[in-house]
Structure 1
Amino acid sequence: MQDRKPIELEAGWTFMQNGIMKLRKLLEGEEEEQFTAENYMMLYTTIYNMCTQKPPYDYSEQLYNRYKDSFSLYIREKVLPALREHHEEYLLRELYKRWGNHKVMVRWLSRFFNYLDRYYITRHSLHSLNDVGLIRFRDDVYTEVKVQARGAILALIEREREGEQVDRALLKNVLGIFIEVGMGGMDCYADDFEKQLLSDSAAHYKKKATAWIAEDSCPDYMLKAEECLKAEEERVANYLHVDTKPKLLKEVETEILEHYESELLEKDNSGAASLMRDDKKEDLARMYRLFQRIPKGLEPVAEIFKKHVEAEGMKLVKEVTEAIQSKKEKDAGKPSKDSGSTHEQQYMKTVIELHDKYLQYVVESFNNSSLFHKALKEAFESFCNKTVAGITSAELMANFCNTLLTRGGGGDKMTDDAVEEMLDKVVKLLAYISDKDLFAEFYRKRLSRRLLAERSASDDHERAVLTRLKQQCGAQFTSKMEGMVTDLQLAREKQQGFEAWQKENGKTISIDMSVQVLTTGFWPQYKVVDLALPQEMVDGVSLFKEFYEATVKHRRLQWYYHHGYANLRANFRSKPIDITTNTTQATVLLLFNADEKLSLQEIKERVNLPDEDIIRILHSISCGKYRILAKEPNNKTINKADIFTFNAAFTDRMRRIRLPAPPSDERKKVVEDVDRDRRYSIDAAIVRTMKSRKILQHQQLVLEVVQQLQRMFQPDIRVIKKRIEDLINREYLERDKDNPNTFRYMA
């Protein structure tokens, strides 16, 4: 078989050039027939033959170089002249058209020269035919027009920012060239376009922001800023590369938000404080959305929010304090009553409303942000721990709960659900109070009063509050209160047992008597007095004692008469009236069944009470709203020389009245009890810490004790120091001999 005659380089290349020229004409839109399958096969076969001939007729290297030169020739003769004729948007259109043609040319020529890709290029680790085509366009076309094209693109973007409609598809297509010529990398796009885009964008928005901040209110400025950021995001979505988004938005945010944040937030009559004052929740939500985009951008907003809430709270404290003081001055000389109670109740309602309002801000406008929850907490802690007309918030809260939970109090006008909701809100406010132990003691005192007087509006409400308090402050916080509620149920059962015992044993007394037997450890400490009871009551006490000793072993009864109640019928001239009093008041009033007139000294001797108790009791029944006894002289102070008589002329529109309890300084007693308990708690915390640590520096010991106790109260550093000294004296601790600021635990 005869060998095939080799194809000479020039002869073969001349044939290939004809095919390339045919392709060029088609690309230029000139009249030319399309390639047929036969044309394609002949061109492919020519290259194949020229690359597979035996040396020296293997022209693979020469054909590879001439393949490259074919692109350069076409670009030099056709592409660049066409591009140089166009400017601005027209340049971009021509560039995109030429880029499309170039890719078609690469696709066809790489098919013709395909055999090079398969063997020669692989063996010599050269650029693929496709890459060679891209490189030629990059080096010959892109390098020349990139600056002009970039300027045209940026000009269109600027026009779009000013509100004009532009051809977004064209921008996307041309920017695609910047990306594709990078051949898998983003260097061309980033260096040749993106850097300038970011620089121009910063300059554009710097100019805009300068004008806006001078002319617009804070809400108007924020609207424009939000629209701009949204427009830039759309710009990225429509024609910029996704990698540009964070960089572009950062430039815009820096220029329109970060640089002007302080000025914007503090704008007169429209800044953050004004928006809060005017309840502009939507604007505040926009402010949150905008400033969360910049580093630490929300911190100044949260600080303004905190100061605003704090100012509102302090304003409320001041107003209520002044109102209570004013009412006290107005009521001076009038019958004694709690002149501040109405204002105190309104204060608590307003605090709850204030919390609801600003919690709604945090949830709705500030996206439930922990930063704003913290700001709200700090603001409420600041003013909720202030005293209102000398009354602590702990006491005010306890009083407010008492009003809601007492039959005939504020809760009676509300539905059960509304009472539950209000109590839930009060308990949540307790989180802001530093003296939680003080609240607990005041609440326990009022709870005991409600339970003992059977004035509690609802057992369900009582238990619900205790459950919430337990969740908020722990089981130890409510253990005694829960014990009181349970204890009272047992006391009712004990009373039923007493009644059954009376029937079984045929025992009777002249009065109806109910006794509540309670466990000392659960209830507040009460003063014990040796009251000289009327005979009717003495008979009842003796009978109950007999029953108790017969049914209960190893327990001793202690009677607390100040907390007992009696129902009396007083026969006045106008009509008989049923009077509810406490046991001590009843004991004094019953003296006047036998005597028309008694002196203070005589009353004191007969009831066997100390002066201070007698004076308070007589004041409550002769100088207050209900003057059951008449006093000589007729004034509002009780003196030893006063004479008392039954006031038969007394009248009231009601047929049943309740005498107010004798006034007592309960607040002082509660504070003293809490101070005593705090000393015990501090001692326990010091010993507990030292027992585990053995040796500790003074400062570290104080710090750890504060951390242990601050959930219930904020311990005074001076008191901690005194307790440390006391424990040293009691030989629980000792000072280090070499360092007096170091303590050792003495086992």
Structure 2
Amino acid sequence: MASSERKTIDLEQGWDFMQKGITKLKNILEGEAEPQFRSNDYMMLYTTIYNMCTQKPPHDYSQQLYDKYREAFQDYITSMVLPSLREKHDEFMLRELVKRWENHKLMVRWLSRFFYYLDRYFIARRSLPPLYEVGYSCFRDLVYQDINVKVRDSVIKLIDNEREGEQIDRSLLKNVLGIFVEIGMGNMTSYENDFETEMANDTAGYYSRKATNWIVEDSCPDYMLKAEECLKREKERVSNYLHSSSEQKLLEKVQHELLSVYASQLLEKENSGCHALLRDDKVDDLSRMYRLFCKITRGLDPVSQIFKQHVTAEGTALVKQAEDAASHKKPEKRDIVGLQEQVFVRKIIELHDKYMTYVNDCFQNHSLFHKALKEAFEVFCNKGVAGSSSAELLATFCDNILKKGGSEKLSDEAIEDTLEKVVKLLAYISDKDLFAEFYRKKLARRLLFDKSANDDHERSILTKLKQQCGGQFTSKMEGMVTDLTLARENQTSFEEYLNNNSNANPGIDLTVTVLTTGFWPSYKSFDLNLPAEMVKCVEVFKEFYQTKTKHRKLTWIYSLGTCNIIGKFDAKPMDIIVTTYQASALLLFNLSDRLSYAEIMSQLNLTDDDVVRLLHSLSCAKYKILKKEPSTKAITPTDVFEFNSKFTDKMRRIKIPLPPVDEKKKVIEDVDKDRRYAIDASIVRIMKSRKVLDHQQLVMECVEQLGRMFKPDFKAIKKRIEDLITRDYLERDKENPNIFRYLA
């Protein structure tokens, strides 16, 4: 079978044919009347190249065609493209450039299709740049390198015009900047080096000039409005025509010129800076300040400092106000924590609410502002007012909310809410142990004298305190609340016991509250000589209690007891509610008409202080159940008393209070004692694990360990170390007296 030989095409003849196709393409690009390529035309051109590349050597013209491909572009660019660009300027030049670039890309697309066979074999084998890359680099080397500086300057000029409020053709800029990106063929170097750097510098200069005027003319809020607006516009600029990678660099330039450079001048502007905005509650402006300054390095530091100073000043002013109010009180009322102090705590809570909202809303919950608020509150929350520490004021405030008939009339929700806030304030107080002790004392009174308004609230605040300060803090208080529940059950079973045992009869109604020693504050228990009627009660209850448990010893605390007795007066009999002490004293007058101070004292077996208090309450105060000779206002050891049968009152039932004992001194003494133990325990714990430690390190670790409950005084720690040395827990190093060793 005969094979048909393919006719060899020589270079000149083949190239002539290709040249016609290329010319037709150029005419189409130049917009001349030329019919479009049909697939047949395209196939002919492709096949010609294919044939010329697959002929046997020396007729394989791959290399020559590769070179001619490049020359076709160079030719077109030098003859047509460059002249048309060089005669135009500014916006017209930019439009021409965009048009020429679009055409060039089309030309690359078509020609690389005609010459496709080169890409597949020749280029791949020789590792030469592919056709599209050759096409692009022709434009880059001949056109882009020639005019990029002119283009860049025209673009920047247009951007500045737009900043000044002119309308510009944004899509034109987007297309021009697209060329800077595309010419890099996959990397951004051309865009960054040939355009972006210069544009960023121009931006910095532009805003620097603006800021110089604004900082002088505008108030801080007005300046910030302008700055925010500028940043917003620059962001839009990026999304409209710059490359997205420019956003960060551009905004940083604007922030630097408008904010970093003028930060302190802006924040400290006389009547409109940060202080003024806080003073006048300009919430929107403060939010804007946060939004702007959080973007610059360490920009929020000065804002949070000013916030801290402001809050500290407001809180300190409240303390001073409360001090002034207290100093105008009458001297005899000065010791009682009164309404004034209640108002003070309320105001501190309101202050905290207000600025907590600022932290959350204006300052978007940023940790710097939480820290500033905490540090500010720690300053004035530990000042105390008129001799009462904040710990005591807070405990009294809670007491007022939780006891029946307290000064605060609140709904259940408001009570919960307020307690929540008090516990938050407690976080700022360094003497948490002092608060706990005052709180416990007041809780005891509420529970024992049935003064507590609502058990749920009592438990609820303990839960809150437990979360805030840990379980150790509330364990005794929780024990007290549980004790009362158990005591009620105990009373019920006592009443059942009495019903079932006819021979066990105390003769009077008796309610006993049994408490667990460790939970409650320590109360003095005296050997009060009980009246016979009461002795019987004590015996009956003892017998009942022994049926329940053999291992517990009851200690009676008569100082907390109350009695209802009936006074038979000439006018009418009356119910009198008194303490056990007062009742014991009054019952003495059933057996004697007249008794001297000394007789009463020896029959009751009480101390001078207690006798004076209870006789004063019965003979010198509001209700004069006893007549005293001489009838002076004070009790003296030579006084004589008798029952006042003429006594009368419009009420059928009266309560005779005993004057309150000042508990504050006792609480403070107790807390001091506990602190000594706590410091001892802490030092021993640290030394046990560390064995050898220097003085400073030991003190630091001790403060660290105890800081959650109180701020130990350095002198106190030093004293406890000395004490532990004398008790052989530690010893000083022989060489260096500043170093201690643990003695196991």
Paired residue for 1:582?
A: 579
Instruction: From the superposition, tell whether residues 550 and 11 of structure 1 become closer, same or farther in structure 2 (CA, over 3 Å).
Output: closer
Is 1:418 aligned with 2:420? no
Identity %: 62
Paired residue for 1:695?
A: 692
How many angstroms apart in 2 are the aligned matches of 1:209 and 1:743?
62
Paired residue for 1:310?
A: 312
CA contact (8 A) 1:171 1:239 kept: yes
SS of the residue corresponding to residue 696 of structure 1 reads strand
Paired residue for 1:258?
A: 260
Is 1:466 aligned with 2:462? yes
Paired residue for 2:373?
A: 376
How many angstroms apart in 1 are the aligned matches of 2:191 and 2:25?
30
Paired residue for 1:392?
A: 389
SS of the residue corresponding to residue 734 of structure 1 reads strand
CA contact (8 A) 1:585 1:617 kept: yes
> Shift of the alpha carbon at 1:540?
2.6
> Shift of the alpha carbon at 1:114?
2.1
Stretch deviating more after TM superposition (4-13 or 119-128): 4-13
Instruction: From the superposition, tell whether residues 735 and 339 of structure 1 become closer, same or farther in structure 2 (CA, over 3 Å).
Output: closer
CA deviation vs aligned residue, 1:128-157 (integer Å, no higher than 9, x gap): 111111111111111122111111211221
> Shift of the alpha carbon at 1:266?
1.6
CA contact (8 A) 1:324 1:339 kept: no
SS of the residue corresponding to residue 505 of structure 1 reads coil
CA deviation vs aligned residue, 1:276-327 (integer Å, no higher than 9, x gap): 2222222222222221111222222222222222222111111112112212
Paired residue for 1:130?
A: 132
Paired residue for 1:151?
A: 153
Paired residue for 2:498?
A: 502
How many angstroms apart in 2 are the aligned matches of 1:739 and 1:115?
91
What is the 5 A alignment of 1:406-485? Answer: 406-410=403-407, 413-485=409-481
Among 311, 329, 337, which residue is 1:327 paired with?
Answer: 329
What is the 5 A alignment of 1:331-370? Answer: 332=332, 339-370=336-367
> Shift of the alpha carbon at 1:569?
4.7
> Shift of the alpha carbon at 1:658?
3.9
What is the 5 A alignment of 1:638-649? Answer: 638-641=635-638
SS of the residue corresponding to residue 328 of structure 2 reads helix
How many angstroms apart in 1 are the aligned matches of 2:446 and 2:100?
93
How many angstroms apart in 1 are the aligned matches of 2:568 and 2:88?
117
CA contact (8 A) 1:328 1:339 kept: no
CA contact (8 A) 1:620 1:663 kept: no
Paired residue for 1:615?
A: 612
TM-score by length of structure 2 reads: 0.93
CA contact (8 A) 1:385 1:392 kept: yes
Instruction: From the superposition, tell whether residues 433 and 205 of structure 1 become closer, same or farther in structure 2 (CA, over 3 Å).
Output: same
CA contact (8 A) 2:337 2:393 kept: no
Q: Which amino acid aligns with 2:287?
A: A
Paired residue for 2:220?
A: 218
Stretch deviating more after TM superposition (166-175 or 15-24): 15-24
Q: Which amino acid aligns with 2:218?
A: D
Paired residue for 2:668?
A: 671
> Shift of the alpha carbon at 1:470?
1.8
Structure 2: tracts of 5 or more residues without a match:
none
Is 1:512 aligned with 2:514? no
How many angstroms apart in 1 are the aligned matches of 2:397 and 2:104?
84
Is 1:662 aligned with 2:659? yes
Is 1:681 aligned with 2:683? no
CA contact (8 A) 2:337 2:396 kept: no
Paired residue for 2:726?
A: 729
Among 12, 18, 21, which residue is 1:19 paired with?
Answer: 21
How many angstroms apart in 1 are the aligned matches of 2:404 and 2:598?
37
CA contact (8 A) 1:402 1:446 kept: yes
Q: Which amino acid aligns with 1:155?
A: K
Instruction: From the superposition, tell whether residues 404 and 2 of structure 1 become closer, same or farther in structure 2 (CA, over 3 Å).
Output: closer
How many angstroms apart in 1 are the aligned matches of 2:335 and 2:570?
31
Instruction: From the superposition, tell whether residues 613 and 417 of structure 1 become closer, same or farther in structure 2 (CA, over 3 Å).
Output: same
> Shift of the alpha carbon at 1:89?
1.7
Instruction: From the superposition, tell whether residues 739 and 513 of structure 1 become closer, same or farther in structure 2 (CA, over 3 Å).
Output: same
Q: Which amino acid aligns with 1:263?
A: Q
Stretch deviating more after TM superposition (495-504 or 298-307): 495-504
Paired residue for 1:560?
A: 557
Among 716, 735, 739, which residue is 2:736 paired with?
Answer: 739
How many angstroms apart in 2 are the aligned matches of 1:653 and 1:170?
100
Q: Which amino acid aligns with 1:178?
A: F
Stretch deviating more after TM superposition (440-449 or 628-637): 628-637
Q: Which amino acid aligns with 1:249?
A: L
TM-score by length of structure 1 reads: 0.93
Instruction: From the superposition, tell whether residues 21 and 549 of structure 1 become closer, same or farther in structure 2 (CA, over 3 Å).
Output: closer
> Shift of the alpha carbon at 1:589?
4.4
SS of the residue corresponding to residue 423 of structure 2 reads helix
Stretch deviating more after TM superposition (627-636 or 12-21): 627-636
SS of the residue corresponding to residue 226 of structure 1 reads helix
Stretch deviating more after TM superposition (522-531 or 133-142): 522-531
SS of the residue corresponding to residue 330 of structure 2 reads helix
Structure 1: tracts of 5 or more residues without a match:
none
How many angstroms apart in 2 are the aligned matches of 1:625 and 1:7?
136
Among 536, 541, 544, which residue is 2:538 paired with?
Answer: 541
Q: Which amino acid aligns with 1:468?
A: K
Stretch deviating more after TM superposition (659-668 or 47-56): 47-56
How many angstroms apart in 1 are the aligned matches of 2:142 and 2:374?
66
CA contact (8 A) 1:434 1:714 kept: yes
Paired residue for 2:168?
A: 166
Q: Which amino acid aligns with 2:436?
A: A
Paired residue for 2:209?
A: 207
CA contact (8 A) 1:362 1:373 kept: yes
> Shift of the alpha carbon at 1:103?
0.8
SS of the residue corresponding to residue 514 of structure 1 reads coil
Stretch deviating more after TM superposition (501-510 or 348-357): 501-510
> Shift of the alpha carbon at 1:199?
0.5
SS of the residue corresponding to residue 466 of structure 2 reads helix
> Shift of the alpha carbon at 1:615?
2.8
Paired residue for 1:525?
A: 522
Paired residue for 1:114?
A: 116
How many angstroms apart in 2 are the aligned matches of 1:592 and 1:92?
118
CA contact (8 A) 1:327 1:339 kept: no
How many angstroms apart in 1 are the aligned matches of 2:684 and 2:706?
13
SS of the residue corresponding to residue 464 of structure 1 reads helix
Stretch deviating more after TM superposition (415-424 or 630-639): 630-639
What is the 5 A alignment of 1:53-64? Answer: 53-64=55-66
Instruction: From the superposition, tell whether residues 396 and 658 of structure 1 become closer, same or farther in structure 2 (CA, over 3 Å).
Output: farther
How many angstroms apart in 2 are the aligned matches of 1:462 and 1:262?
50
> Shift of the alpha carbon at 1:524?
0.9
CA contact (8 A) 1:306 1:379 kept: yes
Paired residue for 1:283?
A: 285
Among 19, 34, 37, which residue is 2:36 paired with?
Answer: 34
SS of the residue corresponding to residue 554 of structure 2 reads coil
How many angstroms apart in 1 are the aligned matches of 2:583 and 2:161?
94
SS of the residue corresponding to residue 731 of structure 1 reads coil
How many angstroms apart in 2 are the aligned matches of 1:117 and 1:274?
71
> Shift of the alpha carbon at 1:727?
1.2
How many angstroms apart in 1 are the aligned matches of 2:568 and 2:271?
69
Instruction: From the superposition, tell whether residues 46 and 464 of structure 1 become closer, same or farther in structure 2 (CA, over 3 Å).
Output: same
SS of the residue corresponding to residue 243 of structure 1 reads helix
> Shift of the alpha carbon at 1:403?
1.3
Q: Which amino acid aligns with 1:70?
A: A
> Shift of the alpha carbon at 1:681?
1.1
